[in-house]
Amino acid sequence: MSDISIQIDQNASSNRSSSHRPSLSERQPASSRKYQPLVYQHKKKDGTTHTFNIGCGCSGEDLIIIASCYITFWSFLLGFFTLLLKGALDTDDSHTMLWSFLYFGIFFSALVTGSVYVGSKEKGKDDCAQNEK
């Protein structure tokens, strides 16, 4: 059998934070990451180059990520609404899906109203506690 020794850094627990994001001192500035915004450079007839910014200073990778997020979101939304429409058309005789949409809407509205009410009560308690100090 071999002996295994484990060394524990005493400062490790004090350096940890609740966030997994790097602190501002650990982040690299944009200049050191070699960030290049997407631009189009056009040479005029007189030999000067004119630069057009594309995508409000975003890089090509940023624009692809943003576009894929939009495409994914709208595809999901289209598919979900298609399923809802199919359910409504399949239960056209008894309107079962329409009634279930109504009940889910009322239930969701009640949850949101309750959450807002409880949140305002909690904020009021916090304000009273701070005023007492």
Q: What is the pLDDT of residues 80-133, one digit of tens each?
A: 999 999 999 999 899 899 999 999 999 999 999 999 999 998 888 888 878 877
3 state DSSP class of 60: helix
Of residues 67, 58, 18, the one with CA closest to residue 39: 58
pLDDT digits (tens, 9 = 90+) for 50-95: 888 887 878 888 889 999 999 999 999 999 999 999 999 999 899 8
Q: How far apart are CA 81 and CA 95, in angstroms?
A: 17
pTM over 0.75: no
CB 58 within 8 A of CB 66: yes
Q: How confident is the model at residue 18 (pLDDT cuts 50, 70, 90)?
A: low
What pLDDT score does 69 carry? 96
Residues 6+ apart with CB under 8 A from 5: none
Q: How far apart are CA 89 and CA 81, in angstroms?
A: 12
What pLDDT score does 7 carry? 55
CB 50 within 8 A of CB 44: yes
Of residues 78, 105, 103, 73, the one with CA closest to residue 86: 78
